[in-house]
Amino acid sequence: MGPEGWYFSGEGGSLTEDPLHGFKKLKELYLKADPDYTGRYTVPVLWDKKADVLVNNESLEIIRMLYLEFDEFLPAHLREENRPGKGLYPPQLRAEIDVMNEWVYNTVNNGVYKVGFSKSQKAYDENIYPLFASLDRLEEHLSHRKPFLFGDSITEADIRLYTTLARFDVAYHSVFQCNLKSIRHDYPRLHAWLRRLYWDQDQEGPLRAAFYRTTEPNISRYALGYADSRWKIVLESQGPLVVPAGPLVLMEPL
Ligand SMILES: N[C@@H](CCC(=O)N[C@@H](CS)C(=O)NCC(=O)O)C(=O)O
């Protein structure tokens, strides 16, 4: 991120510029879509190339759009309804997935931010215990539902939890002070689940190495990214930015 937010740096797999307009900054895309926009310039962004407009910037909505809204355009064997377990948001599991999404979002996905961006001891104390209570609950959940959160096939619930757990030991534990426990030392089932997703490198298999391909190129930068955000938000850019070095091993072997 630069002073004006995300930009196309050409580093770490990023393009050097926006391939549609040649823009250098994400901000320019937001303003192209709406010149009066005054909010934050956040990622992710879903852009409609034909209408040349920003469609959505909420990750939870975008992931559903990507696997539900375009299904009819795919060859039959790739459609959600024909995938193992009937896809990422199968009709028979929707109610259960929605219930889990709700508490996992509030206490885990968003919970780490509530802890890491807390501006008082009180706010920190109020959020750290619910975060770890939910990790305990997920660890327990995996004792009877496995290998994935809802059985044999991966669902949206796995994807949403993965994004937080892949960052947990390498960033949230140290930078966001989410340090009652770590995934690798205290949660054997969650740790096994995380490594199973991360280390899958089968390009043809059901996961198509998606987790490894999207995590590994950036995992060594997570601590810096979150330290920088916390420095800006909590420390209001005052004093030095110091990034913790550990853990030595970013993701333990399978
Ligand atoms: N509701 C959004 C939040 C997105 C968000 O906060 N993204 C962060 C990075 S994880 C960002 O782009 N921050 C840039 C900024 O706030 O300037 C979502 O989850 O999709």
| Confidence at residue 78, expressed as pLDDT on a 0 to 100 scale | 85
Low pLDDT (below 70) residues in the chain: none
What pLDDT digit, counting tens, does each position of 112-143 carry? 999 999 999 999 999 999 999 999 999 999 99
Determine the distance separating the centroid of ligand 1 and the alpha carbon of 165, expressed in angstroms. Answer: 17
The distance of Cα 247 from the centroid of its chain, to the nearest Å, equals 20
Q: Which atom of ligand 1 is nearest to the CA of 58?
A: 20
Sequence-separated (6 or more) residues with CB below 8 Å from residue 252? 184, 191, 195
**Residue 47: C-alpha distances to residues 36, 53, 55, 69, 73 (Å):** 18, 6, 6, 14, 18
Determine the distance separating the centroid of ligand 1 and the alpha carbon of 42, expressed in angstroms. Answer: 4
Determine the distance separating the centroid of ligand 1 and the alpha carbon of 130, expressed in angstroms. Answer: 22
Determine the distance separating the centroid of ligand 1 and the alpha carbon of 204, expressed in angstroms. Answer: 31
What's the rounded Cα separation, in Å, for the pair 29 and 34? 9
Q: Which atom of ligand 1 is nearest to the CA of 42?
A: 12
Q: Where are the domains positioned within the chain?
A: 93-233
What pLDDT digit, counting tens, does each position of 10-45 carry? 987 789 999 999 999 999 999 999 999 999 899 999
Over its C-alpha atoms, the chain yields an Rg (Å, rounded) of 19
For ligand 1, atom 1, the nearest C-alpha belongs to 58
CA proximity to 146, closest of 188, 111, 112: 188
| Confidence at residue 84, expressed as pLDDT on a 0 to 100 scale | 81
For ligand 1, atom 14, the nearest C-alpha belongs to 42
**Residue 217: C-alpha distances to residues 12, 82, 214, 252 (Å):** 7, 31, 7, 16
For ligand 1, atom 19, the nearest C-alpha belongs to 59
Ramachandran bin of 68, using left for φ above 0, alpha for ψ from -120 to 50, beta for the remaining angles: alpha
Query: Ligand 1 pocket: which residues have CB below 6 Å?
Result: 5-6, 40-44, 58-59
| Confidence at residue 206, expressed as pLDDT on a 0 to 100 scale | 82
For ligand 1, atom 12, the nearest C-alpha belongs to 42
* CATH fold of the domain at 93-233: Glutathione S-transferase Yfyf (Class Pi); Chain A, domain 2 (1.20.1050)
Per the listing, tokens 């109020």 go with 126
Determine the distance separating the centroid of ligand 1 and the alpha carbon of 38, expressed in angstroms. Answer: 15
For ligand 1, atom 5, the nearest C-alpha belongs to 42
